[in-house]
Structures are given as structure tokens and as C-alpha cells.
Structure 1
């Protein structure tokens, strides 16, 4: 199937799940995770009406920016961002979805201030408390949000999470619901209901993420096909 056909199929599935749980499919932002797909594939996804493109790797994103791969759609950075590469991302993407440490937050502020821009971000929640994964532990997210609110060149737009890869479906749903509850609580108590994005779910579990309350899903292989790693 073509990228356009895959996008149509994913949107149909989003609509089906939204009907099931009484939600409006128009609430769901579909991010095409275009890692390891070339500029032509990105353009094909944009032509087919993808809402957003998301990149995981700074070097790949930079190369495709130079090729005009993302013209016509917002670009998000959705992968692990090292502090020494912040300068290649700030001001070049609409949203950094993966801010998972205070050190990274402070570096984004430093670079954004130097460029006189306000960088939109999501705070990444390490909901499974995995030692090898970046992200704030759930209990540390409110304090991180409060620190971010003190930074004039950073704007928190919501939360993002990736549950443990080995989680079974019921456990996965529990993680999604926990992040949703955290999002709702923080939105009410800290952000006066100004948060917009709860980014949860990928190709294998975006339906359950929507059932749990996600309004942004990051779908790669279901749109672009299987990735072939060297």
C-alpha cells in the first residue's frame, strides 16, 4: 500500500476508535514518525494530508530540512535530544516532544533566549520508571513544569510518554491512564487549562492511547512501512 493509502487507513482506524469511546476524530493530531524515510516519503505524506511530521534524529532531520522535506506541514522533534544538539533543533521545529530532564530544559531556554524565540515543548514522562529511558518520573513532572513556567523562552504545551516496550496491553493501558490523569491534574492546577497536547501511542498501540485520552499519536511503520535497520 502507498503512504497515502496507509494514512487513510490509520485515519479510518482513529475514527473507528473515536466512535467507540464517544470522541471527535478531529481532536486527534496524527504525527507521521518519518525516521529512516527520505524527503520524498515525507512529501508524499504531506500531500496525503498528514497533520505533522516527527523526526527522532537530529542529523537526519537537519539533512531533510535542507532538502525541503517538511514544507507544508509542521515539524516536531520526537526523539531523545542530547544537550549538545539543542542548537540544531530550537527554532527549527514547532514542538520538541521529548524534554525529559531539567538540564535539557535549561539548555533549550538558553538557546531560545539567544535566538529570541519561544520554543514550544512537551514534558516527557518516564511512566514505567525505566532506568535506561529518559524522561521525568511521574512524581517529578509537576516540579519540572513549574520550573519551565519560570523560563521566558520555553512554553509547555503538554505531556508525552512511551510506556515500556515489554508492557502487556492491560499494563500499557494503565500507564496511558496514569499519564492522562497527570495531564488533567496539572492542566487544571498549574496551567489553567491551557495545555493542548497529550502525546501517547505509536503504531502498535495508538488505538488504546486514544481510548485512554491521547489527542496526539506518533505513527511510523503503519504509515511509512517497516524500517530496515543496518
Structure 2
């Protein structure tokens, strides 16, 4: 199946109110153009350096999502270029984002990444540290919190549902707390292998790479 057919099949499984992000890491601009021609306007990148190359080369009307771990020293390169940061995971990163965007007098939307599976190999904030980050988010004026995101551990359907359900509970809890500068608009969870389950459990943003573009080429 080609990219156009993949997108067509995925769209059959996604309700109109769920945002599809095409994860284009390691993929060429030519591959991305095929997705663009199918109407995709939201693209997700993991690495800042790769994102910057594509930002300069690709169509100018797309919405870029930074979904990978964002190092503090890379923030200065993305200011004004990203539609949504999915991977806010520390007070230190928040402070740098607030400083850089404040200096430019512009705003950025971000999601707090939750390490719901408590995996040491993954980024994201642990639940016991979340309150501290939320308190700092409430003080910000240029970083706007628009929801939460997670990358769950690899597992079977039962474990997937468990983690997705926990995220939905947290999403609803934060929504009901009416925190300053914190809006629960996006629940970003679910990828190529589990996005259908994620949607059933409440996701309204799914991030699909291999399901659209095929296997990634890390040798480039």
C-alpha cells in the first residue's frame, strides 16, 4: 500500500473530532509531500535538527508538532516555528521556553508529557512531580498549556487500555480543576499500533508514523 492508501484507511478509523498527526521523522520531504497532497497539514518531528531542515524546505502552511524530547539548549532554534510542543516534561524546560518566547513577545502552545508507565528509558514527567510543574505553568504568560501527552510502554491490548484510561482520568481531573493558564484541549496518545484503542479511551490527537509512511529508515 502506498502513502495515500494508508491515509485513506486510517481516516476510516478516526472520528472527525480526532486530530491526525503524520509523524515524519526519518522520512523525506518527497514522502511528506505525498501526505500533504492527501490533505495532511499536521506533521510531527522528534529531533530539532531534522525538523529545522524540513521547516526550511517544506510547505509553509503546515502545522509542525514537536513530539520528541526537547533539550533545553535546543529551544532557541524552534521559537516561532512550532504549532504545538507535545513534550514539556520539566520545570527547567518550561522556564527556558517562557524566557525565549517572552523575549520575542510571542506565545507557544504546549502539552505536558506524562511518563505514565514510569519507564526509565522514556522522557515525560512522573505523576508525583506533576503538581510542581503545574504550579510553574500557572505563573507563565507566554507558554500556554493545552493538554497532556504520553508514550505508553509496549504491551498488549489490556495494558494499553490501562495506561490510556489512566491518562483520560488525569485529563478529566485537570480539566475540572480550572487551573490558571492550563486548558485541557488535547489528549495526545496513541500511535500506529494502538491508535484505535487510544481513541476508544479518549484520545483526540493521535500520532501515526509507520502506519502512514511505512518502516523508518534510521540509516540515512
TM band (smaller chain): over 0.9
SS at 1:173 equivalent: helix
Please name the residue that 2:40 is paired with.
50
State the 1:12 CA deviation.
0.9
Aligned residue among 173, 181, 195 for 2:161 = 173
Q: TM-score, normalised by structure 2?
A: 0.94
SS at 1:195 equivalent: strand
Please name the residue that 2:187 is paired with.
198
Are 2:118 and 2:126, in contact at CA under 8 Å, matched by a contact in 1? yes
Separation in structure 2 between the aligned mates of residue 71 and residue 42 of structure 1, nearest angstrom: 13
State the 1:2 CA deviation.
2.2
State the 1:31 CA deviation.
0.2
What whole-Å deviation, never above 9, does each CA across 1:131-172 have from its counterpart, x for those lacking one? 22211112332432231121111000000001113x222111
Structure 1: gaps of 5 or more residues = 15-24
What whole-Å deviation, never above 9, does each CA across 1:97-155 have from its counterpart, x for those lacking one? 01111111111111111111111000000001112221111233243223112111100
Does 2:90 match 1:108?
no
Q: TM-score, normalised by structure 1?
A: 0.90
Instruction: Single out whichever of 47-56 and 179-188 deviates more from structure 2.
Output: 47-56
Please name the residue that 1:141 is paired with.
130
Does 2:90 match 1:93?
no
State the 1:191 CA deviation.
4.0
Are 2:44 and 2:65, in contact at CA under 8 Å, matched by a contact in 1? yes
Separation in structure 2 between the aligned mates of residue 89 and residue 169 of structure 1, nearest angstrom: 36
Structure 2: gaps of 5 or more residues = none
Instruction: Single out whichever of 51-60 and 217-226 deviates more from structure 2.
Output: 51-60
Please name the residue that 1:187 is paired with.
175
1:1-230 equivalence runs, <5 A: 1-14=1-14, 25-67=15-57, 69-165=58-154, 167-191=155-179, 194-230=183-219
Separation in structure 2 between the aligned mates of residue 188 and residue 100 of structure 1, nearest angstrom: 21
SS at 1:26 equivalent: coil
Instruction: Single out whichever of 90-99 and 70-79 deviates more from structure 2.
Output: 70-79
Aligned residues: 218
What whole-Å deviation, never above 9, does each CA across 1:49-100 have from its counterpart, x for those lacking one? 1241111111111011111x14332111111111110111222101000111
Separation in structure 1 between the aligned mates of residue 119 and residue 49 of structure 2, nearest angstrom: 26
Are 1:201 and 1:207, in contact at CA under 8 Å, matched by a contact in 2? yes
SS at 2:65 equivalent: strand
